[in-house]
Amino acid sequence: MSKSALGRGLGALMGGISSSDKSAASSSALVSPLSPTLVDLRERVEIVPLAKVHPCAFQPRRDFSSETLAELADSIRTQGVLQPLLVRRVGDGYELIAGERRWRAAQLAGLTELPVLVRVADDRKVLELALIENLQRENLNAIEEAAGYAQLIQQFQLKQDEIAARVGKSRASVANALRLLQLPQGLQQQVRGGELSVGHAKVILGLDSAQDQAMVAGRVIRESLSVRQTEEVVAQLHISGSGAKRLPSSKHSPDVHVNALQTRLQEHFGTKVMLRYRKGKGAVEIRFFSDDDLERVMGILGVRID
């Protein structure tokens, strides 16, 4: 089969996946829980000393821009804190559930008191509410979002579909976010800092070797590679085989169509997928890493586990 013919054949396949992805996203879309969960108009706003309000260990957000904090502080000096912070009582003080950015900016602005809404919430609910607020405001970077999901799984034994229902995301979105935590710490930091996009990171996750992942990430940053160019690099590494001394194959060139389809399959299943294709034949290998992960993959395939 010629390369152009292969491209047309896989194009039809990729089109099928794309439409099903859209259908899945549409069917799994949930009404945002932000308003009913975070704001209850029956609650009374209280004014409390700023010194009695403390940050929460369950806050998923770790990166706060000093520039945007300074801008918010200037606004607070002029307008005050327009939206109450959400807190829970802890001892003789208050622990933040939502609003740490406003709390930090209020300190910069020199405020001594803050408007708050007091909510009764256990640790799991605090993490859920903090995730919801940050996700709805698009405040979290991709690694912070993934770490929040991982904490719900590890500390509170929630499954991916339960997390998806609570934060208003599709299960595939949660699974794809969690995959980013499989990257080495150095690459995770590059995603946090915006040096690597999530699209680049997903392609790099197609490589098994941490050494290869770091090498490709370095090329992406140095050469400002697009996601498509990164797919070509990864495809070449797959064809050339493993080992630090690998050389480009003279007999084969990387097939961008196969590699792009493999990336789409990985995004669809939210896990590592290997696609082997040659002259209309091949195999698809879908990895799973726990019984729950297997059950999730089987659910996507429409196969029930009795």
Arithmetic mean of pLDDT, 249-271:
70
Asked whether residue 60 is assigned to any structural domain, the reply reads: no
Say whether 100 is catalytic: yes
Overall domain count for the chain: 1
Q: Is residue 227 part of a domain?
A: yes
- pLDDT (0 to 100) of residue 48: 93
Give the H/E segment covering residue 215: helix 210-223
Average pLDDT value for residue range 204-231: 92
Residue 47 domain-assigned? Answer: no
H/E element, 66: helix 66-79
| Neighbouring residues of 112: CB distance < 8 A, sequence distance ≥ 6 | 49, 50, 51
pTM given for the model: 0.56
pLDDT 10s digits, 230-257: 988 988 887 776 443 343 433 444 466 7
78-128 pLDDT, tens per residue? 899 988 998 989 889 999 888 888 999 999 999 999 999 998 888 888 877
Set 95, 100, 133, 144: catalytic member = 100
Looking at the domain assignment, is residue 150 inside a domain?
no
* pLDDT (average), residues 183-188: 94
Give the amino acid at 147: A
C-alpha–C-alpha distance, residues 217 and 234, integer Å: 11
Distance of alpha carbon 104 from alpha carbon 284, whole angstroms? 49
Burial class (CB in 10 A: 0-12, 13-18, 19+), 84: buried
**pLDDT classification of 77: cutoffs 50, 70, 90:** very high
Is residue 134 predicted with pLDDT exceeding 50? Answer: yes
Instruction: Report if residue 269 sits inside a domain.
Output: yes
Mean pLDDT of the chain: 78
Look at residue 113 and tell me if it is in a domain.
no
> Stretch 164-193: mean pLDDT, rounded?
90
What domain range includes position 294? 183-300
Q: Is residue 170 in a domain?
A: no
Provide the pLDDT for residue 135: 73
Confidence (pLDDT) at 49: 95
Residue 131 has pLDDT above 90, yes or no: no
- Percent above pLDDT 70 for the chain: 79
Smallest CA-to-CA distance from 40 within 122, 131, 121 is with 121
**Residue 94 within any structural domain of the chain:** no
